[in-house]
Chain A
Amino acid sequence: MTLMKALRPLLIAALALFGATAPAFTQSGPLRIEITEGVIEPLPFAVPDFVAENGAAADHARNIARVVAADLAGTGLFREIPSSAHISRVSSFDAPVAYGDWRAINAQALITGAVSASGDRIVVKFRLFDIFSGQQMGEGLQFAGTPQSWRRMAHKVADAVYSRITGEGGYFDSRVVFVSEAGPKNARQKRLAVMDYDGANVQYLTDSSSIVLAPRFSPTGDRILYTSYVSGFPRIYVMDVASVQSRALDEQPGTMTFAPRFGPDGRMVVFSLEQGGNTDIYMLDTSSGSRSRLTNSPAIETAPSFSPDGRQIVFESDRSGTQQLYIMPAGGGEPRRISNGAGRYGTPVWSPRGDLIAFTKQHQGRFHIGVMRSDGSEERLLTSSFLDEGPTWAPNGRVIMFTRETAGEGGQPALFSVDISGRNLRRVTTEGSASDPAWSPLLP
């Protein structure tokens, strides 16, 4: 029995909540993944410190193993067996694995690795072992890069392990752009920032002299769309990530533009434009500069998001009298309403897998992050609080990050993540208050 099979029931459990066409439950066995009263037992794994192949690699060898462990444990699907419980010590990357010692402490997966450092380059190698079957799982892999990129290499190791065991794409080697907030509620200062998905390596992209809102990555992560009040009026800007230079996307005096998102080709941008109090959805071809209007009604139409194939756009409209979700062809045309429950629905975002749409729901004074299928069926609310809003998808479509703000005079926003089964709600570590996260694609 492989780890893949061991974890499959767990994934099926998540999928079953949506009535997905999941593969049949294969078998249960010695790895004992159990679902008990709705709580899934995470898979126990061990990550001993990686082997330092020379003295200069010692710190990285320890730190990389810690980041790999944090990535995996942070999913809620895995549980680390601490090194204090380890019987075997891994002193050589090529030494045979003492399976019995790992079985004795009930480790089901073992990750071993080695790091060598020379000059401006470190090399990280790892192997994954299925302890109960007594076999290596997949080939060993090696990553090379600068010492400064050690966390990325750790994330790549963890992504490879996660993918091999779950059969899903990884999401650890990714970044999140967000709004860093400071100051009291009635004079909040906001600036754009970008960080690794786990909160490390924060870089500030703007100062806080103007309000900035809702940044969004391009499909390759090279550009960021956002809304800024730098002109005194809300307008969309596009920033080149490498040079941190911004330019206005589309200047239309007397209008307000906001809620931009790239299409999957990185060329088309959908956004809202307000004129004379009425907000509609427009599309801009950033290559030709041509602009087309996709909705034309007196209602508020905003928060557009492309389907991953670029053929459709999901958005919110209050044309029925309250905020609801609609889907229209990417070229415009008659929209069909997909949200049908009680309450108000906004900020829809299409999953990168195409299967689900995440949204914010307001109902009876509470805010929720939820998901539904693109036909509106199988709605499920994942969170509930005074104010949850603005979901963004992890690159693998399995995890959602969002803003949670607390109530009252001292209320502050923070970033949280939750998996699409509604489990593993976690606060994302940021230096200060933070809002409006947008996940990048998986880095190359």
Chain B
Amino acid sequence: MGHLGKALLVVAAFGLAACNNPDRFGAGGAGGPGGPGGMGGIDSSGLGGPNDPQSVAYFQQTLGDRVFFAVDQSTLSDAARGTLSGQAQWLNSNTQYAIIVEGHADEQGTREYNLALGARRASAAQNFLISQGIAPNRVRTVSYGKERPVEVCSTEECYSRNRRAVTVLSAGAGS
């Protein structure tokens, strides 16, 4: 089973309601449909909620699994670096996980360009995580371009949340 299959299993195990599409690993979590409000019952699994520092929910919601970008940019803001530093610390103490960083763009761009832009964003986040001590073989990237927005309105309020890189946990570090 490849990384993605494992990622899907992890996602499925934590019951993220919005993640039933295999093309869409990082849609859940804070801010997205199926975010905190849509995760009822998860805590009862005994795997830990957002207050349990070892839990996936903590990673996704408390630390934040995503960082945001300016229009047509892939430079990490100070806020993004802060979020990624937190992710890196967590990953350094929860070494059982590998990660896939998804890069996304808003809809204001052509399809091919946005695929390449999403790759730039994912790569920027990946490089920062590696600089914080994450082994390169734990991190892969994928770009969804403008194919998987989490917000559906056509205003800057939505666009700003769609221009993102999402760190998705998967089982099997370094495999």
Report which of B74, B109, B141, B154 forms a contact with A407, defined as CB distance below 8 A: B154
Minimum CB–CB distance from B167 to chain A (whole Å) comes to 15
Report which of A185, A232, A408 forms a contact with B3, defined as CB distance below 8 A: A232
Q: Does A11 contact B (CB under 8 A)?
A: no
Determine the chain A residues whose CB is within 8 A of the CB of B142 once the complex forms. 232-234, 256
A186 to B161, CA, bound (A): 12
A213 contacts B24, C-beta separation under 8 Å: no
Q: Which of these binds chain B: A67-75, A161-169, A273-281, A423-431?
A: A273-281
Q: Which of these binds chain A: B40-48, B57-65, B89-97, B110-118?
A: B110-118
Which residues, 131 to 170 on B, are CB-close (under 8 Å) to A?
A: 140-144, 147-154
**A387 with B107, Cβ < 8 A, contacts A211-B23, A232-B142, A277-B122 known:** yes
Q: Which residue of B lies closest to A276 (CB)?
A: B123
Which residues, 70 to 121 on B, are CB-close (under 8 Å) to A?
A: 74, 107-113, 115-117, 119-120
**A347 with B112, Cβ < 8 A, contacts A184-B152, A229-B23, A407-B154 known:** yes
A390 contacts B111, C-beta separation under 8 Å: yes
Minimum CB–CB distance from A313 to chain B (whole Å) comes to 14
Determine the chain B residues whose CB is within 8 A of the CB of A232 once the complex forms. 2-4, 22, 142
A233 to B110, CA, bound (A): 19
B119 contacts A303, C-beta separation under 8 Å: no
Q: Does B124 contact A (CB under 8 A)?
A: yes
Determine the chain B residues whose CB is within 8 A of the CB of A390 once the complex forms. 110-111
Q: Does B33 contact A (CB under 8 A)?
A: yes
A346 contacts B21, C-beta separation under 8 Å: no
B116 contacts A272, C-beta separation under 8 Å: yes
A360 contacts B110, C-beta separation under 8 Å: yes
Q: Which residue of A lies closest to B110 (CB)?
A: A346
Q: Does B11 contact A (CB under 8 A)?
A: no
A408 contacts B4, C-beta separation under 8 Å: no
Q: Which residue of A lies closest to B126 (CB)?
A: A277
**A303 with B147, Cβ < 8 A, contacts A277-B119, A409-B152 known:** no
Which of the listed residues B21, B123, B153 has the most CB atoms from chain A within 10 Å of its own CB? B21
**A316 with B113, Cβ < 8 A, contacts A187-B21, A188-B147 known:** yes
Q: Does A351 contact B (CB under 8 A)?
A: no
Q: Which residue of A lies closest to B149 (CB)?
A: A186
Determine the chain B residues whose CB is within 8 A of the CB of A407 once the complex forms. 154
A405 to B27, CA, bound (A): 22
Report which of A229, A254, A274, A386 forms a contact with B116, defined as CB distance below 8 A: A274
Q: Does A252 contact B (CB under 8 A)?
A: no
A259 to B84, CA, bound (A): 31
Q: Which residue of A lies closest to B123 (CB)?
A: A277
A279 contacts B33, C-beta separation under 8 Å: no
Determine the chain A residues whose CB is within 8 A of the CB of B140 once the complex forms. 254
Q: Does A323 contact B (CB under 8 A)?
A: yes
The 9 A-B residue pairs with the shortest CB-CB distance, nearest first, are A277-B123, A232-B4, A407-B154, A279-B116, A300-B116, A346-B110, A185-B152, A259-B112, A302-B112
> 27 pairs across A/B with beta carbons < 8 Å?
A184-B152, A186-B148, A187-B24, A211-B23, A211-B144, A211-B147, A213-B115, A214-B111, A231-B2, A231-B4, A232-B3, A234-B143, A256-B143, A274-B119, A277-B120, A277-B141, A302-B112, A302-B115, A303-B110, A316-B112, A346-B109, A346-B112, A347-B111, A386-B154, A387-B107, A407-B154, A411-B154
